[in-house]
Chain A
């Protein structure tokens, strides 16, 4: 069961709120019920939308009115120079600054159908992983194109850049962006080549301890940065790891999403962990690291610098080692 995906808001990955019964998506079902109630209203709005936007069906035209349902999609659109075609974004879209001024239409899990249709989009782009297909079907029924893209791996991120580029008339820009990304990846590979391969633990949460597992784009980045992700053994994408396992596996480097003294207090109890002993516990900024979009190249460079600081001397000053109090 994929209980915790750091990109998934709490409301839709939880269980019964108080008994803690591990129901599959208790709240998700509630959200679906609310969604269904909204369908009728959306259907009514649909007719108005058709009248208001006669040019809406012109999906073949390269210039679109685009609604993005995920931060990574929004970033990709702006990076491809299609930012001026974006008319609506998700509530989590916080980059680039220009995107924050656009109308919000909910998220990829709770898209607000009425808000989307009200923007008269010709193209809606969501995430394939968890998009609420029921709601997207309603949007599709208005004649608007709806596509979803993946973000579970570096390959999927590059494919989604190419897909999006093709849909918005920026195929060349997409090819160039992917080429630049590949070049940055190759440069990181070259820098870390031949280095010792440290064991790494990357956390996205403390209470509970949630780690980056396998088959995630972050795991791809850790691999490219020539490190061994100790959370592989769990076989999960976002495992809730046991602290005993972490102590026993002796990670050389810990990448901790939480910065500052609380993280330090947490780790100083476990002084035999090499990362703790050698002051190799680093805080990382969730933006851009947790955004699987076109900035994944800079994310990779940041992570690689934390894992192999000697190979990235110019970045070493920018690291945030967590103070482990004694």
Chain B
């Protein structure tokens, strides 16, 4: 979009540059916005902890370890809310970084085929690695490796004469998505009923019954990846001026891409290995925040982290309570919100009105 280089886009990029130069982003403004979003996330987490498919007494939950209320609170609800925070934060911040890196407003882990590759890796690990006694711990490793391979493949294939065309990238991502979906179905057709259920779980995306250990793994890997993204926030800003300009301003484009791809693959791999494919969170959240607060990634990345956490926790609350005591996969809820939003963004982009 920007590379095609019409006059309106150039002026838009120019307008964005004022932003990056720091004209609007003061330390005070950044602090205010991040604190407000942190408060929002904390409120969402509190609400999500207070409600569930069953009512629990907070007093018993906290002070009576022998009560079911305590077990529900400590072993079921709290880890689930924490996992929602971790997964939502990962998905949204990865979306924000990828959109900047490939200069495509529709980029997102799910749409670029990264999540699909990751899910395929996780499923392979689950179904076959456990047979050779490798156990469940290899699942995140496979998810990460497959996510990275998928990302690099999509990126390479989408390059035409060394240029990354936004729509080519989107198409290649969609093709990879379909390919991974087919590969997963192939695995599904040769495994037994039990794994077939699990594969469905991965495809729909769900935060059901995570352990504290899983919460720790996703939070740890997510934080490490996010630190890398934050350290590259300035470079991501400059990248919106185009590869050549960014290079002239001292950005090592190839190293930047490598680092971001590895960090985002690690984050997506961690999230997918426990929650399956939860789509559109990485699309909706960064876009809303970009419209609200501008596209300086020093602000947009932490804002997406917090906004994604809040959105995911609330979506999962809906998944838990709407048809309680049964559950809806949270991926269905995010996709229900995200599908129409995606079309809306596409329509806006057609009119050239989308700023990055």
Chain A interface residues toward B at CB < 8 A: 4, 6, 9-11, 13-15, 17-22, 27, 204-210, 231, 233-234, 236, 239-245, 247-250, 257-258, 266, 269-273, 286, 290
Contacts and interface: CB of A to CB of B under 8 A. Distances in A.
27 contacts: A9-B196, A13-B200, A14-B200, A14-B203, A17-B182, A17-B203, A18-B110, A20-B204, A20-B205, A21-B279, A27-B185, A205-B194, A206-B194, A207-B197, A208-B201, A208-B208, A234-B323, A242-B320, A244-B52, A245-B53, A245-B325, A247-B75, A249-B325, A266-B209, A269-B75, A272-B66, A286-B193
Contact of B54 (A17, A236, A245): A245
Nearest to A213: B326
Contacts of B45: none
Cβ-closest 4 pairs across A and B: A17-B181, A245-B325, A20-B331, A205-B197
Contacts of A239: 325-326
B185 A11 contact: yes
Contacts, number: 158
B324 A245 contact: yes
A13 B203 CA distance: 12
B110 to A, nearest CB: 7
B68 interface: yes
The main secondary structure of chain A at its interface with chain B is loop
B323 to A, nearest CB: 8
B335 interface: yes
A18 B181 contact: yes
A18 to B, nearest CB: 5
A18 B325 CA distance: 26
Given A15-B332, A18-B178, A231-B325, 5 more contacts: A14-B203, A240-B328, A242-B325, A248-B72, A266-B209
B200 to A, nearest CB: 6
Contacts of B71: 247, 269-273
A209 B68 contact: no
A209 B71 CA distance: 18
Contacts of A248: 54, 56, 68, 72
Given A244-B54, A248-B68, A18 B279 contact: yes
Interface residues of B, number: 59
A127 B166 CA distance: 49
A206 B197 contact: yes
B68 A19 contact: no
Interface of B: 52-54, 56, 66-68, 70-72, 75-77, 110, 115-116, 119, 177-178, 180-182, 184-185, 188-189, 193-194, 196-201, 203-206, 208-209, 211, 276-280, 320, 323-329, 331-332, 335-336, 339
A219 to B, nearest CB: 15
A4 B52 contact: no
A270 B205 CA distance: 23
Contacts of A236: 326
A244 B277 contact: no
A70 B194 CA distance: 19
Given A243-B209, A244-B72, A272-B66, A20 B279 contact: yes
Contact of B324 (A204, A242, A258): A242
A204 B193 CA distance: 9
A13 B197 CA distance: 11
Contact of A242 (B53, B66, B70): B53
Given A10-B199, A19-B335, A22-B336, A208 B75 contact: no
A10 B324 contact: no
A234 B335 CA distance: 24
Question: Which of A4, A22, A286 lies at the interface centre, i.e. has the most chain B CB atoms within 10 A of its CB?
Answer: A22
Contacts of B76: 243-244, 247, 270
B197 A21 contact: no
B189 A11 contact: yes
A243 B325 CA distance: 9
A276 to B, nearest CB: 10
A104 B209 CA distance: 39
Contacts of A17: 178, 181-182, 184-185, 203
Contacts of A210: 197
Nearest to A250: B68
A109 to B, nearest CB: 13
Contact of B327 (A14, A240, A250, A271): A240
B117 to A, nearest CB: 10
A209 B208 contact: yes
B170 to A, nearest CB: 14
Contacts of B177: 18-19
A11 B188 contact: yes
Contacts of B280: 19
Contact of A20 (B182, B188, B324, B332): B332
A272 B110 contact: no
A22 B110 CA distance: 16
Contacts of B116: 18
Question: Which of B67, B72, B177 lies at the interface centre, i.e. has the most chain A CB atoms within 10 A of its CB?
Answer: B72
A206 B277 CA distance: 18
Given A244-B76, A257-B194, A20 B53 contact: no
Contacts of B110: 18-19
A241 B192 CA distance: 22
Nearest to A236: B326
Contacts of A21: 279, 332, 335-336, 339
Contacts of B336: 21-22
A247 B339 CA distance: 35
A196 B45 CA distance: 41
Contacts of A231: 325
Contacts of A11: 185, 188-189
Given A243-B76, A250-B68, A270-B71, A10 B325 contact: no
Nearest to A274: B68
